[in-house]
Structure 1
Amino acid sequence: MANPDGERIDGPLARLIGVMMLGGFMALLDATIVNVGIGTLARHFDAPLDTIEWTATAYMLTLAAAIPVSGWAVDRYGGRSVWLAGLALFTAGSLLCALAWNAGALIAFRVVQGLGGGLLEPTMLTVLARAAGPKRAGRTMALMSIPMTLGPILGPVAGGLINAHLAWQWMFLVNLPIGVLAIALAVRVVPAEVPDGAGRGPFDVVGVLLLSPGAIGVMYGLSQAATAGFGAPRVVVALVLGLLLIAAYAVHALRSKVPPLVDLRLLAIRPYAASVTVMALVGGVLFALLFLIPLYYQQVRDHGVLAAGLLLVPQGVGAFLGMPIAGRLSDRVGARTLVPAGGAVIALSTLAYTQAGTDGNMAVLAACSVLTGLALGFVGAPTMASVYRTVPAESTPSATGTLYVLNQIGAALGVTVVTLLLQHRMADGSGPAEAFGTAFWWMVIAAAVLAVAGLALPGRPSYEAPEPAAAAKKASAEEARRG
């Protein structure tokens, strides 16, 4: 058993983290920059909003389709090759978007960006989890959580500034110098040889034909439900087809002789299953708050888009301060102590917004946002670290794919639920302040559920050689006997 404080992050790992943070931050920042600029793009291309919104939807759906494939690609070609491919696709897609001549071309080029983004985020976590090992998982995941949290927060601020002072093309051109620098640094820093376990098997064609369209169906259904409601025909069809495809993939993955894209047998490892479940809840809480808070400031407090985006910065500051602390503590005490405490703080700090109304003290709300960000750091980083402490190294790509798919679905579901709550309350004749108060109460409940779910996470890490692969094999053998 190693020192309970874990190991320090040395020079090579620190450089690797820095280089991969640069590429990961670029992809996360750009997604929300474009969301802020939807109105600007609609005016420039003289296109209706329901058309131009596909610039955001196409990116999200392509991202969902690419994520499951990234794990196989890392095992097959190595993390460095997949990382460089993701950077190249995203940077090239950004240039093409800036050159788009109509809305259709822009949507098509956003698909290219989505392919790159879908390779970048899971590959980043897979490479770093393997490089850090279980002893440094907490600190490493804490650092990598910074771009994952700050990107969606700073995106609206950057988008507001660009749309106010620069041409629309700069929403995409801003990625070019970052992408070129990230590629140049990755060639030098990202290791050429990444352990690939037993992943050099045949490509799971049936799996990708089931899982990727299934993820697209669920994500599309949830995104459309946010405005049309769950009863709309297109929403029902998308969700039913998506869930049926994912169910068919589950049957295939448990029976296939070909290594599946996402190994569902890992869910037999209870600490891992608890970790990915909590990460789905984290996605829902984080993105619902990122949606609600700026909208509250715009619709209830009459702030502009840029001002509302700037009022998210305190949450980013809290997350930036909290994650390194949470990472160090995670390597000592584990997620079971930190995550419930973080969830409880999120619930308490969100209470202020339930009572804010039209004249709530802005300084108090900003302080609560700092606390929320700090608590999110104590939830996200330890949970991600527990994911990589509870699976064998050869299963890291598959574990990352499951983590990301569930986190994205949780995020989409969180935004959908609060959107429908707002619409329902306003349709009942409630004013904006009352409607937002109700939505924030639901966020308090969601944060409390997150705190309770955190009790199922692993406790103090032991850093002994993991044996979860045996548990997964045992569960698979029992399943085979029952079948």
Structure 2
Amino acid sequence: MTHDEDRLRWLIGVILLGGIMGILDGTMVAVAADTLTVEFGSSLSAVGWVSTGYLLTLTVTIPVTGWAVGRFGAKRLWLAGLLLFLAGSLASGMAWNVGSLIVFRVVQGLGAGILDPLVLVLLARAAGPARAGRVMGTMAAVLSLGPVLGPVVGGLVLDGLGWRWMFLINLPIGMAAFLLALRLIPADEPATRRTPLDVVGLALLGPGFAAAGLALSQTAEQARFTTWQTLTPLAVSLVLLAAYAPHALRSRSPLVDLRLFGSRGFAASVGVMALTGVAMYTVLFVLPLHFQQQGHGALTAGLLVAPLGLGAAAASPIAGRFSDRIGGRTLVRAGALAATAGTLALIRVGPDDPVRWPALAGLVIGLGLGCVGAPTMGALYRTLPAPLVPQGSSVLYMLNQLGASAGIAVVALIIETVGPSTGFHRVAVFGAAVTAVILLAAALLPGRPAPEFTNPPAEAVTEGALR
């Protein structure tokens, strides 16, 4: 192993160590809802904002991170995001009522909104185009395990140490990540020019995506689409995002350049990642409901879903490495076929069938989606010009998160409408339809990487998008 390879491994580890906290915190706190309700003598709806406030703040922050990378530098921004997240974690662990906890979780969300897209930016820069698939495979493995391990880790910490340690446990991990990042993350190059912040774009895009996320979360919570709690934020989202489009096309330095979507490879990549979020969270949400309907407890149900995350985590690094050689298109097709077969197999699972069958189907789905995500992200970063990597990362992360919220909302609507037993099978049909669309979209992904590939200049992409 060369010195550069060894340093890259350490750098990947440090970046993922800092990024894993935000990924886990997004899901592990959900298991403490009942405990916090009793602890603070509050309503369940109020406690729900402990998670909702965190996720909405994270979503609002993500778009500005792309601009801030160019303005302040990736390393400085990473260190600042870590400190902000740790400050929010410490304060959350010392919260005295539900209101203070929500406020401190918002601070955590600000830090996570900086860290989450920066994980992709830093990994893409460290890998370079030739190793993009390999490094993104490692990242995809962590992303796959996060939603599965979050509730399990949260349950163990809650039972063993109490709810405050669900936040305080971030402190030793975060400080280790901070000290290692100081040494291992490369210093920022001096900025050649300072792009002004697109304030109007930020006021439209961040709240627009946050409102869309709120509408989807309220759909899942209310299990109905036609409620004011859903329709109001949905209307706000549509108005803000519709207003952003003409603004972005007129602006010299938009927060997110919409001309990127004129590139077939970019549009296909972020679209596939959004659909992957839908597919993953559809299964991730419906399988625990199925196991709980069979009489299993929440922790057991969470453990039975683990094969889904483990399959994705096992397949992602291998698929990512191969995509650097043969491109992502073939691997994504194979993965989408496997995921479709796994979701179709769930249609034949009955309420009295042994748990091994849906768990095995989850493993197949995880393996399939693992062969989709890493090659798709690798293809994105091989075709995206280096100056546009921060913007592309923000778009990728936001659409993937919205896809996850959409998957959960659809599951809630179907289950509430037709009941758990029939709903389980209809959700499986929906999941299979989503993975079938991924299979079709794979044809639009870039093919085999060219030898000695280098990123195209930014002008080539934006000018090509306009033609």
TM-score normalized by the length of structure 2: 0.95
Q: Tell me what 1:27 maps to.
A: 22
Does the residue aligned with 1:143 lie in a helix, a strand or coil?
helix
Tell me, which stretches of 5 or more residues in structure 1 are unaligned?
1-6, 427-431, 479-483
Residue from 212, 215, 225 that aligns with 2:219: 225
Residue 440 (str. 1) matches residue 437 (str. 2): no
Q: Is the CA contact (8 Å cut-off) linking 1:386 and 1:458 kept in structure 2?
A: yes
Residue 234 (str. 1) matches residue 229 (str. 2): yes
Residue 280 (str. 1) matches residue 274 (str. 2): yes
Residue from 56, 61, 64 that aligns with 1:66: 61
Q: Tell me what 1:107 maps to.
A: 102
Residue 319 (str. 1) matches residue 312 (str. 2): yes
1:401-416 → structure 2 map (5 Å cutoff): 401-416=394-409
> 1:9 and 1:278, CA in 2 relative to 1: closer, same or farther beyond 3 A?
farther
Q: Equivalents in 1 of 2:295, 2:157: separation in Å?
A: 21
Q: Equivalents in 1 of 2:251, 2:193: separation in Å?
A: 15
Q: Equivalents in 1 of 2:3, 2:137: separation in Å?
A: 13
Question: How far is the alpha carbon of 1:362 from its aligned partner?
Answer: 2.3
Q: Is the CA contact (8 Å cut-off) linking 2:142 and 2:313 kept in structure 1?
A: no
Question: How far is the alpha carbon of 1:227 from its aligned partner?
Answer: 2.9
Which amino acid in structure 1 is aligned with residue 463 of structure 2?
Answer: K
Q: Tell me what 1:188 maps to.
A: 183
Which amino acid in structure 1 is aligned with residue 296 of structure 2?
Answer: H
1:281-430 → structure 2 map (5 Å cutoff): 281-298=275-292, 300-426=293-419
Which amino acid in structure 1 is aligned with residue 390 of structure 2?
Answer: P
1:133-282 → structure 2 map (5 Å cutoff): 133-194=128-189, 200-228=194-222, 229-257=224-252, 259-282=253-276
Which amino acid in structure 2 is aligned with residue 275 of structure 1?
Answer: S
Does the residue aligned with 1:37 lie in a helix, a strand or coil?
helix
> 1:199 and 1:236, CA in 2 relative to 1: closer, same or farther beyond 3 A?
farther
Q: Is the CA contact (8 Å cut-off) linking 2:386 and 2:458 kept in structure 1?
A: no
Q: Tell me what 2:438 maps to.
A: 450
Question: How far is the alpha carbon of 1:403 from its aligned partner?
Answer: 0.8
Q: Equivalents in 2 of 1:287, 1:184: separation in Å?
A: 34
How many pairs are equivalent? 464
Q: Equivalents in 1 of 2:189, 2:12: separation in Å?
A: 15
Which amino acid in structure 2 is aligned with residue 219 of structure 1?
Answer: G
> 1:434 and 1:112, CA in 2 relative to 1: closer, same or farther beyond 3 A?
same
Does the residue aligned with 1:360 lie in a helix, a strand or coil?
coil
Q: CA RMSD in A?
A: 1.8
Question: How far is the alpha carbon of 1:269 from its aligned partner?
Answer: 1.0
Residue from 98, 103, 111 that aligns with 2:93: 98
Q: Equivalents in 1 of 2:35, 2:438: separation in Å?
A: 37
Q: Is the CA contact (8 Å cut-off) linking 1:156 and 1:309 kept in structure 2?
A: yes
Does the residue aligned with 2:372 lie in a helix, a strand or coil?
helix
Q: Is the CA contact (8 Å cut-off) linking 2:382 and 2:454 kept in structure 1?
A: no
Which amino acid in structure 1 is aligned with residue 347 of structure 2?
Answer: T
Q: Equivalents in 1 of 2:38, 2:443: separation in Å?
A: 49
Question: How far is the alpha carbon of 1:9 from its aligned partner?
Answer: 7.3
Residue 57 (str. 1) matches residue 45 (str. 2): no
Question: How far is the alpha carbon of 1:365 from its aligned partner?
Answer: 2.7
Q: Equivalents in 2 of 1:44, 1:119: separation in Å?
A: 31
Question: How far is the alpha carbon of 1:425 from its aligned partner?
Answer: 0.6
Q: Equivalents in 1 of 2:309, 2:3: separation in Å?
A: 25
Does the residue aligned with 2:188 lie in a helix, a strand or coil?
coil
Question: How far is the alpha carbon of 1:182 from its aligned partner?
Answer: 0.8
> 1:247 and 1:475, CA in 2 relative to 1: closer, same or farther beyond 3 A?
farther
Q: Equivalents in 1 of 2:21, 2:258: separation in Å?
A: 30
Which amino acid in structure 2 is aligned with residue 146 of structure 1?
Answer: A
Question: How far is the alpha carbon of 1:366 from its aligned partner?
Answer: 2.5
Q: Equivalents in 2 of 1:353, 1:61: separation in Å?
A: 32
Q: Equivalents in 2 of 1:288, 1:318: separation in Å?
A: 16
Tell me, which stretches of 5 or more residues in structure 2 are unaligned?
none
Any idea what the Cα deviations from partners look like across 1:347-379, whole Å, max 9, x if unmatched? 111223222222223223332222222212101
> 1:263 and 1:365, CA in 2 relative to 1: closer, same or farther beyond 3 A?
same
